[in-house]
Amino acid sequence: MKALRKILGLFIVLFIGLPILFAVIWAVGLTRSAVSPEFVSDLPQEIIEEVPSLVEEVFIEAQDEELISDEDTRAWFKAASEVDISPRELMRNMGLESWLENELSGSLEEIGDVLRGKRKAGSIVIDLRPLKNALQSEDFKDYITQVMEQLPPCDEVDIERWYTVIERDYDLFEFPPCTPGVEVSDQVIQDYLDELTDDISDEIEIFSGMRFVPLSVTRIVKLLSYGMFLLPALIILLGSVIAATSTAGFFRWSGLSFLAGGLISLFTALFTKQLAFAGIGLSPYSFSKDWSAGLHELVLEKTAWIQTAVVGHLFSPVIAVAGVVSIVGFIIFVLSFIASGKPKPVKEKPAEKKEEKRIEQKEEEKKEEAPQEKAEPEEEPESESQKEKEEEKEEPSEEPEEKKE
């Protein structure tokens, strides 16, 4: 019976409790990272500040033959570098730099204040129309036109390549590095910008329909996510109750279960985090057909700190939650050595009880008879002494009678 209970408890803990606990740890950790002000607000603001300098570095280094193996891509970047205006100045003239540093950064800061509980959870709108207007501005069109003017004229083969790319998509880096003519280039530029802006929404609304709450959004989400731990905890405790035969056994089963689930989640998160860091360094896009070999590597190199920061913010809460669960499991396991582990008392059979009563009665009777046997030898010497005294008294009374006769 005990073996059957242990097998059933092990099945519940191993195949039901631990998988659910593993999933809940990851869900709670990723939820914490998703609503973290550092991840949603602070990190994007840091990226926005670095965007202009990143674009300039990519434009300069993209002309290096050792970095960019495709000649057409190098030719496009070289033509862009020959234009009198730099990428930072272009972004400033388009109004894109001002929008990034003021409107977009301000909206992200408001989101961070809501998540921290510094302001009410009202609707926050991120207006993307300035971005679309900047891409459709005359400054940007003139810039692309000036870049194409720096390219040599196209021959018949290059003209066919132009029309082939137009029918498929409008990626400028896939166009041959030549000028197809004013009419074709103007049409291509307009169609390219239309396709680029059509995929961008006019605005993004965040926290829409939310009412005022006494706590910050981050705290509310965290509290709700922690409630998910009730399900795996109840399942593990149920399996421990079935498998354990004592209080110490219950603590040992439940403690080891929580410890195992926490450690498995902890090592999995650490391994996945390091694997993601390794993937960033390995440049998995090097075999992509969309860009030339080397361009993706260059972009990844310049934005490696962004990717590393995103990965760190995503996995750090998972590691923290798994560590807490492991510590709780270890504490419960230690309590098993403090708790009483005595087995339950076994009921005695009626026949054994009667036999014990008989033995006890016999022992009591022996104890009562022992003092009486010791008292009898003490009375005998006293009776003999009394008889001798009586005989001595009788003898002198007989002698005078003999003398008289």
Average pLDDT along the chain? 79
pLDDT at 373 over 60: no
Report the pLDDT value the prediction gives residue 345, as an integer from 0 to 100: 52
Is the residue at 135 inside a domain? no
User: Mean pLDDT, to the nearest integer, of 312-324?
Assistant: 94
User: Mean pLDDT, to the nearest integer, of 142-162?
Assistant: 87
CB atoms within 10 A of CB 179: 20
Report the pLDDT value the prediction gives residue 260, as an integer from 0 to 100: 96
pLDDT at 380 over 50: no
Q: Rounded to an integer, what distance in angstroms lies between the CA atom of residue 374 and that of residue 366?
A: 13
**Where does residue 204 fall: left (phi above 0), alpha (psi -120 to 50 degrees), or beta otherwise?**
beta
Is the residue at 150 inside a domain? no
Report the pLDDT value the prediction gives residue 173, as an integer from 0 to 100: 54
pLDDT at 339 over 50: yes
Is the residue at 185 inside a domain? no
Distances, alpha carbon 93 to alpha carbons 48, 86, 88, 128, 363, in Å: 17, 11, 9, 17, 113
Chain segment 65-91, per-residue pLDDT in tens: 777 777 888 888 888 888 888 888 998
More confident residue, 198 or 331: 331
Report the pLDDT value the prediction gives residue 110, as an integer from 0 to 100: 85
Is the residue at 192 inside a domain? no
Confidence band (pLDDT; 50, 70, 90) for 40? confident
Q: Domain range holding 81? A: 2-128+201-338
pLDDT at 53 over 70: yes
User: Mean pLDDT, to the nearest integer, of 318-323?
Assistant: 96
Q: Rounded to an integer, what distance in angstroms lies between the CA atom of residue 205 and that of residue 128?
A: 11
Q: Rounded to an integer, what distance in angstroms lies between the CA atom of residue 119 and that of residue 289?
A: 47
The number of folded domains in the chain is: 1
- Short-list 22, 20, 32, CA closest to 266: 22
For the chain, the straight-line distance linking the first and the last C-alpha, in angstroms and rounded, comes to: 108
**Which structure tokens are listed for 293?**
């070999």
Contact of 67 with 294, CB cutoff 8 Å: yes
- Short-list 151, 141, 144, 180, CA closest to 163: 180
- Strand, helix or coil for residue 36: coil
Burial class of 74 by CB neighbour count within 10 A (0 to 12, 13 to 18, 19+): buried
Is the residue at 240 inside a domain? yes
Report the pLDDT value the prediction gives residue 188, as an integer from 0 to 100: 78
Sequence letter at residue 328: V
Is the residue at 101 inside a domain? yes
Report the pLDDT value the prediction gives residue 289, as an integer from 0 to 100: 46
Report the pLDDT value the prediction gives residue 86, as an integer from 0 to 100: 85
Is the residue at 140 inside a domain? no
What are the two backbone dihedrals, phi and then psi, of residue 127, each rounded to the nearest 5 degrees?
Answer: -85, 120
Is the residue at 109 inside a domain? yes
